[in-house]
Structure 1
Amino acid sequence: MTKILLLGGTGDALRIARQLTSVDVYSLAGLGKVPDDLPCSVRVGGFGGSEGMARYIADEEIGLVIDATHPYAAQISANAVNAARHAGVPCWVLRRPAWQPRAGDDWRMIDGWDELTMALAPFRRPLFTLGREPLSHLDEIPPHQFWLVRCLDSHEDTERARIIAARGPFTLEGERALFALQHVDVVVSKNSGGSATEAKLEVARERRLPVVMLRRPSLPAADREFESVAELLDALHLSR
């Protein structure tokens, strides 16, 4: 049986991990909760770049690498493709489709933090859903702004920011309540795709609020690419 190395850390990856076997390995960067109820082994920590991952693939006799990391985990995705190629094994990638703007949406596309800062200048109560990056900029909050930052990391609130440690999926009702209670006037988001965190976009649409959207990074081509967990699992079952 082909031994699989699954690179994860997302809800989609966890769904795949639950379909693996005892010979397979689910690899996490170590951020967030580590599952203890999977049929496969769980590995926590980095590999030391693509070369380190290639050595791990060879040493552990991995026959297939599956990248189911976040769409913005550009470095690990690049390492996975390069390591698999160097080790001579296939690399499959789960890349869920990006969200697309709908009628009534006001999306303002950006490529990095400097552009983000300029895009947020007219607003007072932004909701950040970018992960932990805003936590390193809490001392840069403009005098007229109060930030609401939602991420996986616990962090103390400040006089100018409230930090919400939470993991999706988020409901439409819950997002409506959050926006109303916190007087959100702009949403800051990655274009992650999927349904788990999409409700914030629906609420922004309802309230006619702009969304400052970070463009997806360019990712290297893999041997096979899948848009859904079901599609990938079907191919996996056929290959085994």
Structure 2
Amino acid sequence: MTRILLLGGTGDAQKIARQLGRAHVYSLAGLGKVPDDLKCAVRVGGFGGSEGLARYLASEAIGLVIDATHPYAARISANAVEACRVAKVPCWALRRPAWQPQAGDDWRMVDDWNGLIDALAAFRRPLFTLGREPLAHLDEIPPYQFWTVRVLDSHPDTARARILAARGPFTLDGERALFALQGFDVVVSKNSGGAATEAKLEVARERGLPVIMLRRPVLPDVDREFAGVADLLDALPPQAHADSAQ
């Protein structure tokens, strides 16, 4: 039997983890909620870079690594590929397709935080949907701006920012209500892809709002790449599944 290490932390990763049997391992970096409905083992915490991960693969007799981390978790993905090369273990990746601009969209592409701040200078009430990174910059908010920062976990508001704790998936009606209440004039987003957080882009389109979009990092090549959960699960050996005898 091939023992699987699943690198996760996303909703898609949880869908895969729920299908894995008890011999396999679901790995989380430590942020977010740890699922309690899995049959596979759950490991929380880092490995110590690619070298530490390579040692773990050898010591735990891992025969396949599946990278189902966030599309912007470039360091983790690079570590996984390097560790698999050293340990001579195949590496698969789930890489959901990026969103594509549609008619009526006003996307302003940026490469990093500095570019993002430059693009944001003309606006007053941005909605940040980047995760935790804006929290490190709350003391840098210009006096004419008020930020809303949506993150997974609660954090205190400041005089110039509202920290909104919320977890997707987000509905179209819910996003419409939020935008109407808060009066955003721009959305700041990663191009994460998938349906869970796409509604904000549709509401921005409806309201004629620009979207400052952080480009995806370039990720390393893997042995097999999948665009969807179903295709990846179909490719797994039957004994990997939770309902198989292990």
Structure 2 length normalisation: TM-score?
0.96
**2:87 is matched with which residue?**
87
Are 1:78 and 2:78 an aligned pair? yes
CA distance in 2 between counterparts of 1:180 and 1:37 reads: 36
Structure 1 match to 2:66: 66
Q: Distance in 1 between matches of 2:239 and 2:225?
A: 15
Match of 1:148 in 2: 148
Q: Give the drift of 1:35.
A: 1.1
Post-superposition Cα deviations, 1:54-87, rounded to whole Å, max 9, x if no partner, equal: 0000000000000000000000000011101110
> Which 5+ residue runs of structure 2 have no aligned equivalent?
241-246
Which structure 2 residues correspond to residues 213-232 of structure 1 after superposition, within 5 A?
Answer: 213-232=213-232
User: How far 1:37 moved relative to its partner?
Assistant: 1.6
What amino acid maps onto 2:83 in structure 1? A
Residue in 2 aligned with 1:167? 167
Post-superposition shift, 1:238? 5.7
Per the TM alignment, residue 197 of structure 1 is displaced from its structure 2 partner at its CA by 0.0
Q: Does 1:114 align with 2:114?
A: yes
Aligned to 2:34: 34
Residues 239/100 of structure 1: CA separation in 2 closer, same or farther (3 Å cut): farther
Q: State the match for 1:233 in structure 2.
A: 233
**Aligned partners of 2:11, 2:184: CA distance in 1, in Å?**
27
In 2, Cα distance between equivalents of 1:237 and 1:179: 45
Residues 207-218 of structure 1: pairs in structure 2 closer than 5 A: 207-218=207-218
**What does residue 124 of structure 1 align with?**
124
Match of 2:182? 182
Contact 1:68 1:95 in 2 (8 A): yes
Describe the superposition over 1:117-145 as per-residue Cα deviations: whole angstroms up to 9, x where unpaired. 11011101000000000000000001110
The aligned length equals: 240
Counterpart code for 1:187: V
Q: Does the CA contact (< 8 Å) of 1:132 and 1:153 recur in 2?
A: no
Contact 1:172 1:200 in 2 (8 A): yes
CA distance in 2, matches of 1:44, 1:84: 20
1:9 alignment counterpart: 9
Matched residue, 1:47: 47
> Which secondary structure does the structure 2 equivalent of 1:43 belong to?
strand
User: Cα RMSD between the aligned structures?
Assistant: 0.9
SS of 2:236's partner is helix
Query: Partner letter of residue 107 of structure 1?
Result: W
Q: What residue in structure 1 maps to residue 243 of structure 2?
A: none
Q: Secondary structure at the match of 1:142?
A: coil
Residues 1:24 and 2:24 aligned together: yes
For residue 71 of structure 2, what is the amino acid of its counterpart?
A: P
Separation (CA, whole Å) in 2 of partners of 1:16 and 1:131: 23
CA distance in 1, matches of 2:174, 2:36: 29
Letter in 2 for 1:85: R
Aligned-residue sequence identity (percent) comes to 79
Tell me whether 228-237 or 65-74 shows the greater mean CA deviation.
228-237
Which residues of structure 1 form unaligned runs of 5+? none
Query: Aligned equivalents of 1:130 and 1:56: distance in 2?
Result: 31
Report the TM-score when normalising by structure 1: 0.99
